[in-house]
Amino acid sequence: MIPEVSVGEISVLTSLISVLAAARTMGTQIEKWQRASNASSRNVFFSFFNGESLDYIGSGAASYQMEFVVFKVKSFIMIFSEKDFSLNGFVKVTQTGRTFILFVSMNLTMFLKFNKLVYQKEESIMYIVPPSSWHSFAKADTQVQSLLIAPFNEEYEYRRINSVLDKQEWSSDSREKAIQEIEAVATSILAVSADYVGLETDDVIAKVDKNLIATLFDCLITSKFWFDCDFMIKLDGGRYHKLFYSYGFNEKSTYISMESHTAFPIVLHWLTIFALGSDKETLNVKSEKSCSHLGQFQAVQMYTYTWQPSPYTGNFSCLKSAIVKKVMISPAVDPYTPNEEMNTRYSTWMESVYMIESVNLYLMEDESFEFTMIFIALASALLSMFAVGRCSESTFIVDEGEPAAEGGEPL
């Protein structure tokens, strides 16, 4: 894959849609989930790790920081204490939306240990977890259970769904099957989460909004740009501004670039707030300034307040949520990582041999300079051809002695 050219994969979007659909169902019934969570003292988190294809650096950094209580979000610090790394289970969704056949993979040792009722082994369950973000957390705590929903079973196979640039790939039939698969995955996420917090799963708790899935599918996958459909235009509400000199902000891409930023993290952040945010406690807030002030007077920074429009009506409101964004730096290259922890437990061979002192910085000329030089070269060549083409023999100075010399006369 050529660096800085990839636009990302559709499988990233189909997997995210399933998680967002589950989160939206949970957000519309947040009181029921909160009561069950408080009664069982168990919590459900949604995490989106940016750039997991780079050998799970995001989840590896999150796991490391949560373990040592340096995850600089106070709401998480209250839950993950230094003596109790209490992450019990991990559900991962990957590469969905194209094969129409899904399998469940789990860690058999942990499954048998924490489940008194041992289910009969089915062909659709694999007890060895393929490559996934779960391994990053299992390195911190081997007791963490895993559940991976993916289109491969006995053998790990990377089935790359076509690039975001492929516009004509989805027929009406394949689109409908993909939506059904996304709905099934979202329902599974809700069922697992409800069982974990002790909430009885019924038609209401596990009811996924299929219309929302279809809308997100059309907006995020089949549209040319993130804000081309009415749903996303209303969710934007005039907040997004394209940066003329940034390729990433002007193009539809999920690729994590080292050269330019992309609009996709912004899109995902807004959709997550839409899914899990609530304005029931902030109906009297009528301005963005008043909304931003609400988060400044908390004794403990547990919630964020975002002034955001509804993608259905376009009307702004102050949404309360526990959603945060955090820049994750791999512990292998983080200068604040203790020396005794450096290069001892990371996902990649590259990180395992990293030494900060040996990291070299390579500078590249901006592409605009190359284009400028090519333009100058072409213009010079055309100008030269035009000038030479208008010349004749009389244009050039010819030594008169040359014809005489050719006739045998001495010069």
The pLDDT of 239-251, averaged and rounded, is 63
| Cβ–Cβ under 8 Å, residues 110 and 141 | no
Q: Say yes or no: 384 and 270 in one domain.
A: no
Q: Which of 92, 89, 104 is nearest to 138 (CA)?
A: 89
Instruction: Identify the domain containing residue 252 by its residue range.
Output: 10-276
Give the per-residue pLDDT at 317: 95
> Does the pLDDT value for residue 406 go beyond 70?
no
Residue 338 belongs to some domain of the structure = no
Write out pLDDT tens, residues 126-153: 455 666 776 777 777 767 776 777 766 6
Place of tokens 């839950």: 79
pLDDT bucket at 325, cuts 50 / 70 / 90: confident
Q: Which of 276, 292, 311 is the last residue of a domain?
A: 276
Residue 98 belongs to some domain of the structure = yes
Give the per-residue pLDDT at 111: 45
Q: Say yes or no: 74 and 211 in one domain.
A: yes
Q: Say yes or no: 228 and 373 in one domain.
A: no
Residue 1 belongs to some domain of the structure = no
- Please work out, in degrees rounded to the nearest 5, the angle formed at the alpha carbon of residue 289 by the alpha carbons of 284 and 290: 30
The pLDDT of 52-63, averaged and rounded, is 73
pLDDT bucket at 235, cuts 50 / 70 / 90: very high
pLDDT bucket at 410, cuts 50 / 70 / 90: low
| Cβ–Cβ under 8 Å, residues 302 and 43 | no
The pLDDT of 220-231, averaged and rounded, is 89
Q: Which of 358, 342, 322 is nearest to 64 (CA)?
A: 342
Residue 355 belongs to some domain of the structure = no
Helix ranges restricted to H, 87-228 = 108-114, 134-138, 172-197, 210-217
Q: How far apart are CA 308 and CA 276, in angstroms?
A: 13
Better-predicted residue by pLDDT, 114 or 272:
272
Tally of domains in the chain:
2
Q: Which of 215, 243, 276 is the last residue of a domain?
A: 276
Write out pLDDT tens, residues 375-391: 899 999 888 888 777 77
Q: Say yes or no: 271 and 374 in one domain.
A: no
pLDDT bucket at 110, cuts 50 / 70 / 90: very low
Residue 384 belongs to some domain of the structure = yes
Say which residues have a Cβ less than 8 Å from residue 17's Cβ, sequence separation at least 6: 182, 213, 216, 217, 220
Q: Which of 276, 294, 312 is the last residue of a domain?
A: 276
The pLDDT of 209-236, averaged and rounded, is 92
Write out pLDDT tens, residues 161-178: 555 655 556 788 888 888
Residue 209 belongs to some domain of the structure = yes
Helix axes 10-28, 30-40, angle to 10 degrees: 80
Predicted model pTM: 0.71
Q: Which of 268, 275, 267, 273 is nearest to 318 (CA)?
A: 273
Q: Which two tokens stand for residue 308?
A: 């955001």
Q: How far apart are CA 397 and CA 346, in angstroms?
A: 75
Q: Which of 19, 11, 13 is nearest to 272 (CA)?
A: 19
Residue 299 belongs to some domain of the structure = no
pLDDT bucket at 270, cuts 50 / 70 / 90: very high
| Cβ–Cβ under 8 Å, residues 30 and 278 | yes
The pLDDT of 253-269, averaged and rounded, is 76
The residue type found at 90 is F
The pLDDT of 32-39, averaged and rounded, is 90
The pLDDT of 97-114, averaged and rounded, is 53
**Three-class SS of residue 43?**
coil
Residue 260's Cβ-count burial label (10 Å; 0-12, 13-18, 19+) is middle
Residue 29 belongs to some domain of the structure = yes
Q: How far apart are CA 393 and CA 196, in angstroms?
A: 93
